[in-house]
Amino acid sequence: MLRNATLLILCLGFGTLSRGAATAAEDPIDRRFTAEVFPFLDAYCLDCHAGKEPEGDFDLSRFTSAAAVSGDHPHWERVLDQLREEQMPPKKAKEKPTAETRRQIVSWIQDIRQRDAKKTAGDPGPVLARRLSNAEYDYTLRDLTGSDLRPTKEFPVDPANQAGFDNSGESLTMSPGLLKKYLQAARSVSENLILTQDGLAFAPHPMMADTDRDKYFVLRIVDFYKRQPTDYADYFEAAWRFQNRAKLGQRHATLSDIAAAAKVSPKYLATIWATLNDPHERVGPIFDLQKMWRTLPTPTAPGSLSPHAACVAMRDFVMTLRTKLVPEVENLTGPGINNGAQAFVLWKDRQMAANRRRYDPSALMIEGTIPAVEPPPVADKKSRKRVHKPRQPDPALAIPADPAERARHEAAYARFASVFPDAFYISERARVFLDTDEDKNNGGRLLSAGFHSMTGYFRDDGPLYDMVLDDAAREELDHLWNEFELVASVPHRMHSSMIWFERTDSSFMIDAQFDFARAEDKDCSSREKIRQLADVYYAKAKTRGASGAALAAIKEHFERVQANVTRVDRMREEAEPKHLRALGDFAGRAFRRPLKESERADLVAFYHTLRKDDGLDHEDAVRDCLVSVLMSPNFLYRVDLAEAGGLPALAGNPSKAPATKMSATMPKGALPLSDYALASRLSYFLWSSMPDAELLARAAAGDLQRPGVLAAQAKRMLQDDRSRAMAVEFGGNWLDFRRFEEHNAVDRERFPMFNDKLRESMFQEPIHFLTDLIRHDRSVLDLLYGDYTFVDPLLAKFYGMAVPPGPDDQWTRVEQVSKVGRGGLLPMSVFLTHNSPGLRTSPVKRGYWVVRQLLGEHIPPPPATVPALPADEAHLGELNLRETLERHRADPSCAACHARFDSMGLVFEGFGPVGEHRDKDLGGKPVDDHAIFPGGSEGSGLAGLKTYLHEHREGDFVDNLSRKLLAYALGRTLQLSDEPGLAEMRRKLAADGFRFGSLVESIVSSPQFLNKRGPDDLATR
């Protein structure tokens, strides 16, 4: 019904247009059509191109007026090409036009194109509200969740439009099958959701199982610890820098400045500084350390290196001494109770944590006393088990026997232990109730409480927290631990596994009186059950004769369990409303615009429906709400593109700006995009992804269309990492290497160096090149002539370059690579390999790639009857590939086209089928890379091609790049009305020194980009 109505309007539209044109008979274009063009068609064309079965399915009989030509410019562009290139009328035709007549018609077509282009210049064109492409979907989810999940790995590949890009409504369709993929993808994203204390976050992996939750937080907390500056040597070096700041040329540097430069904690550096310079230290370890400090060399010049080795020696002095001073904590035990019981192990953990800044006076050797060779007997052998081997007397720890002197030394040791903790934090712990030797192989138990088998974590980072961290870092750390306990239900799970352990491995809770406590039961950590268990456990321990200390620890344990469980339950309760608010915020980000109040309310209503009617719990309901957001067309579709087509502005006010800047160039019938729509358009152009916070803030402020603001945003965004997407999606599709990661046409037995890793490196090379060019706004001509490229160690080796130092995944820019035959896009192995059929090179494919992808030349497909070349170069027989091609070109039906590109492939003959350098082809014949280019100039190899391109084809290259980028930016095929803008774009590019950014500036300020066709626009063709 509706479709018919549209058709009707379109037909009426045409009618109006034709009538309008007919009345304006004064136009010389119309006069010339009647006088020159129509007779020409009649004489030379309509014999074949008319009737029921027009030649080549190309009917010219319906063009009876200039207006009809205006109505189908794409058709007439082909007429223009055929005439200009003298392809038509065909050579065999009886009647042929004179050169003058041909010129006349060509000029008429050019004139009417120019006239019409001017008339509709800047027409936004048909841009449909389409779904996100696979690439856009992946990038958007990445920016939305912070994890690069790439669910479209398992989606069907998006088809490309005529311009070669997969980002337009012309080609992006939807199907039930695809919808199910989206649903699966949304579900799997929702499984990565973390319901945090303040809202929602995403993990890079599913968070459904307890083990996943543990892993996520434990790794983050340990990572936080490891990031903190806790190496004493760094502090000594920083202190030295401060001490010698004047000589080092930093007279005015404060201690904080030095700390910042050295990346150490200013707070702890102050402590160290004060300690090293404390004049009251006269005896003991700090005094000894000060001696080392004072002998550090004085710098001679501002650039002097700090005395690293000496500072390391100071650190080693501290560490060696400190290890000897750690107080021992003996196991707490009780009759019938397992040594690994949670109450006892956690008690011991707490003692050790409290001792971090204390020392053990009994470790010191009082001068004149003779140490016992045997360790003193332990008071109660049965219930006490030592953790550490008894200390051996150490002369390094000798102190005087005189009581006053001894007290002075002991005080010095106490200060030393306090400034230098035995550990700033504990990141892993084996079973703490065993001899360290017994469990020494059990590393990697991150943040573990040191239990046997039971789930258990213990936080021990007091010295770090108190001495090193500033307020912000403390808050971050507290937050991480709270989040961990909340999301992974740490206290609850510790308690339930305690019940399991005490009833199995330890059999303390084996009797029937404990039967009420069951680890399987969620209710086992209810307030009542914890209390009940505490009572029964305590009573049994007491009856069995546990010591006062043990009983106290048991009592404290259950109190702590109760408190921790209550605290986490309360956190959870308080967090729930925040999750709902966060859902709304998430939806706003996903929809790339602020959420309307009604939409927010709808989402919350959906949540309550899921809770009430569907019986989901809070977490599942939040997850399903999230899935519904990710399945909404407001997320999956570029609804912004629909906006001016009748959809009210996305949010806020429609832009007020066009009145100022765009009115002069505002195409007829076009409507300006709102700021939010423009933000999306810009970010999907430059990043293939959603707008970031800053861009949305500009949209909210309503000044995106103010002169300069959009351009400034574009500039900022091009410099951002995310513009890599442009290199991959625009560059990859333009240059046809987007799917090279799946390229499997290489015979790996013949080319064993070609493996998946090298293929990946080849794929990455142009991406690094383009990303660098985009981010640093370099000249687009570097793509052709740049004497540099980017390599990782693997590619460097493959190219025969010196391998830059660094890890395997490090990419380095290398200069003057023409020495090894590389530089710019042309000799990149990805293109040379992609355009080879496997066991031979293909000058045809390589040359075709140059003229088609780089220079934008249109070449018709070969006729179906062409004989294929042998697949293997070694099977060519007497001729080499060049000679075989020459023979092929001798056929006139092939020659016309092949003359246009074979030469540009032959120059690459010095590169084998995987882009490797070679002197001989696979048949053992010497290679020849000399070529005669179209127009007659000659050259050899890469240098010859570059010279030819520079002298004859640079304009084509620039023109093609401009067209491709504009088509990519607009998400549609170009049309005649884009021509004036393109001409201006090229002019400006040359004036701007060929900076890439100039192209982007032209595009984002073009009327096509800033506007959308209005609903009444009849220019639709």
Partner 1 sequence: MRDPKANSLAARRFRISRRTFLRGVGVTMALPWLESLPSFAAEPVAKGAAPVLPKRFAALFWGNGVNANHWSAKGTGASMELSKSLGPLEPFKAKMNLIDGLFNRSAVGVGIHPGQTGNLLSGKPLTKGAVLHGGISMDQVLANHIGQDTVQPSMVLGCEQPVTGYHETNFSMAYSSHISWQSADSPVPMEVYPSLAFDSLFENRGSRRNQSILDRVKDDTSSLVRKVSANDKAKLDEYLTSVREVEKRIDRMRAQSDKAADTAREAGKPLFTMKRPDNGLPEDIREHMKLMCDLTALAFQTDKTRVVSLLLCRDLSGLFYPFLGVRKSHHPASHDDLSDDFEKITRYYVGQLAYLAQRLDAMPEGEGTTVLDNSCLLFLSNMWSGNKHDSTRLPLLTVGGLGGSLETGRVLNYLEKGDENRKVCSLYLSLMDRMGVNLPQFGDADARLAGI
Find the binding residues for partner 1 in span 900-929 (CB under 8 A). Answer: none
- Choosing from 78, 358, 518, 560, the residue that interacts with partner 1 (CB under 8 A) is 518
Nearer of residues 596 and 776 to partner 1, judged by Cβ: 596
Pick the closest to residue 564 from 657, 449, 650, 468 (CA basis).
Answer: 449
Nearer to partner 1, 295 or 441 (CB): 441
Q: For partner 1, which is the closer residue by CB, 323 or 598? A: 598
Residue range at the interface with partner 1 (CB under 8 A); choices 575-583, 625-633, 818-826, 861-869: 625-633
Is 244 or 506 the residue whose CB approaches partner 1 more closely? 506
* 598 binds partner 1, rule: CB under 8 A: no
Asked whether position 642 contacts partner 1 by CB under 8 A, the answer is yes
Positions 335 through 374 that interact with partner 1 (CB under 8 A):
none
Contact residue for partner 1 among 448, 680, 771, 962 (CB under 8 A): 448
Q: Minimum distance from CB of 512 to partner 1 (Å)?
A: 8
**Which one, 348 or 724, has the nearer CB to partner 1?**
348
Which of these segments, 140-148, 623-631, 749-757, 785-793, binds partner 1 (CB under 8 A)?
623-631
Q: In this chain, which stretch among 230-238, 608-616, 969-977, 981-989 interacts with partner 1, using CB under 8 A?
A: 608-616
Contact 67/18 with Cβ under 8 angstroms? Answer: yes
Using the contact rule CB under 8 A, the part of the chain among 615-623, 859-867, 891-899, 910-918 near partner 1 is 615-623
**751: contact with partner 1 by CB under 8 A:** no
Q: Which is nearer to partner 1, 392 or 453 (CB)?
A: 453
Q: Are 501 and 334 in contact (CB under 8 A)?
A: no
User: What is the smallest separation between the CB atom of 717 and partner 1, expressed in angstroms?
Assistant: 26
Single out the residue of 728, 667, 768 nearest to residue 978, CA to CA: 667
Residue 451 near partner 1 by CB under 8 A: yes
Q: DSSP labels for 835-897?
A: TS-SBS--HHHHHHHIIIIIT----PPPPTTPPPPPSBGGGSTTS-HHHHHHHHHTSHHHHHH
* β-pairing verdict for 1011-1013 and 938-940: unpaired
Strands 812-815 and 365-366, how do they pair?
Answer: unpaired
Options 318-326, 418-426, 638-646, 832-840: segment touching partner 1 (CB under 8 A): 638-646
Token digits of residue 606? 């959906």
Closest to partner 1 by CB, 195 or 794 = 195
* Minimum CB distance to partner 1, residue 603 (Å): 9
Least spacing, CB of residue 393 vs partner 1, in Å? 34
Nearer to partner 1, 155 or 606 (CB): 606
Q: Does 768 bind partner 1 (CB under 8 A)?
A: no
Considering the rule CB under 8 A, would residue 814 count as an interface residue with partner 1? no
Helix (H) or strand (E) holding 1012: strand 1011-1013
| 416 in Cβ contact with 359 (< 8 Å) | yes
Nearest-approach distance from CB 143 to partner 1, in angstroms = 22
Position 310 contacts partner 1 (CB under 8 A): no
Q: For every residue of 114-136, which 3-state class applies, written as one string?
A: HHHHHHCCCCCCCCCCCECCHHH
- If one counts every other C-beta atom within 10 angstroms of the C-beta of residue 40, the result is 19
CA distances, 180 to each of 177, 208, 627, 1000, 1020 (Å): 5, 21, 12, 37, 34
Partners of 932 in the beta sheet? 938
Sequence length of the chain is 1021
Site for partner 1 in 643-682 (CB under 8 A): 645-648
Is residue 870 close enough to count as binding partner 1 by CB under 8 A? no
Contacts 24+ apart (CB under 8 A), 552-555: 553/332, 553/343, 553/344, 553/347, 554/334, 554/343
CA distance 674 to 648: 9
- Burial environment of residue 842 by CB neighbours within 10 A (0 to 12, 13 to 18, 19 or more): buried
Residue 59 near residue 49 (C-beta atoms within 8 A): yes
Return the SS3 of 668. coil
Kindly state whether residue 613 participates in binding partner 1, applying the rule CB under 8 A. yes
Between 178 and 414, name the residue whose CB sits nearer to partner 1.
178
Rounded to the nearest angstrom, the gap between the alpha carbon of residue 662 and the centroid of all alpha carbons in its chain is 35
Evaluated on CA atoms 280, 285, 288, 290, the torsion sign reads negative
Between 176 and 752, CB nearer to partner 1: 176
Does 521 interact with partner 1 (rule: CB under 8 A)? yes
Task: Give the SS3 label for residue 216.
Answer: helix
CA contacts within 13 A on the Cβ side of 4: 1
**Inter-residue contact 453 to 495 (CB < 8 Å):** no
Rounded to the nearest angstrom, the gap between the alpha carbon of residue 863 and the centroid of all alpha carbons in its chain is 44
Q: Kindly write out the interface string for residues 986-1015 of this chain, putting x where it contacts partner 1 by CB under 8 A and - elsewhere.
A: -----------------------------x
What's the closest the beta carbon of residue 625 comes to partner 1, in angstroms? 9
Gap between the Cα atoms of 222 and 225, Å rounded: 5
CB of 521 to partner 1, least distance (A): 5
> x/- binding map, residues 551-590, to partner 1, per CB under 8 A?
----------------------------------------
Over the window 121 to 150, marking each residue x when it contacts partner 1 by CB under 8 A and - when it does not, the resulting string is -----x-xxxx-------------------
Hey, which bits of 328-445 come out as E strands? 365-366, 398-399
The amino acid sitting at 491 is P
Q: How far is it, in rounded angstroms, from Cα 492 to Cα 522?
A: 8
Q: Which of 120, 134, 331, 455 binds partner 1 (CB under 8 A)?
A: 455
Our CB check for partner 1 shows the closer of 365 and 641 to be: 641
Q: Confirm or reject binding of residue 633 to partner 1 (CB under 8 A).
A: yes
Distance from C-alpha of 883 to C-alpha of 971, rounded to nearest angstrom: 43
Q: Which of 411, 486, 11 is nearest to 216 (CA)?
A: 486
Residue ranges in 473-502 that form contacts with partner 1 under rule CB under 8 A: 493, 496-497, 500-501
Contacting residue, 35, 510, 563, 659, with partner 1 by CB under 8 A? 510
Q: Nearer Cβ to partner 1, position 422 or 624?
A: 624
Which residues, numbered 371-400, are part of the site for partner 1 (CB under 8 A)? none
Rounded to the nearest whole angstrom, what is the least distance from the CB of residue 1006 to partner 1 in the complex?
21
- CA 595 from chain centre, in angstroms, equals 26
Answer yes or no whether residue 636 interacts with partner 1 by CB under 8 A: yes
Q: Binders of partner 1 among 416-435, rule CB under 8 A?
A: 431
Q: How many residues bind partner 1 (CB under 8 A)?
A: 88
Closer to partner 1 by CB, 55 or 210: give it.
210
CB 752 to partner 1: min, Å: 25
Q: What is the closest distance, in whole angstroms, from the C-beta atom of residue 614 to partner 1 in the complex?
A: 5
By CB under 8 A, the residues from 182 to 241 that bind partner 1 are 183, 205-206, 208-212, 214-215, 218-219
Least Cβ distance, residue 491 to partner 1 (angstroms):
14
Q: How many CB atoms lie within 10 A of CB 894?
A: 16
- Out of 48, 446, 480, 932, which residue is the one contacting partner 1 (CB under 8 A)? 446
Q: Which is nearer to partner 1, 143 or 620 (CB)?
A: 620
Indicate left, alpha or beta for 638 from its phi (over 0: left) and psi (-120 to 50: alpha).
beta
CB of 504 vs partner 1, minimal distance in Å: 4
CB 338 within 8 A of CB 372: no
Question: Among residues 606, 751, 785, 788, which is the contact residue for partner 1, using CB under 8 A?
Answer: 606
Give the nearer residue to partner 1 in terms of CB position, either 558 or 637: 637
Do residues 456 and 445 touch, judged by C-beta distance below 8 A? no
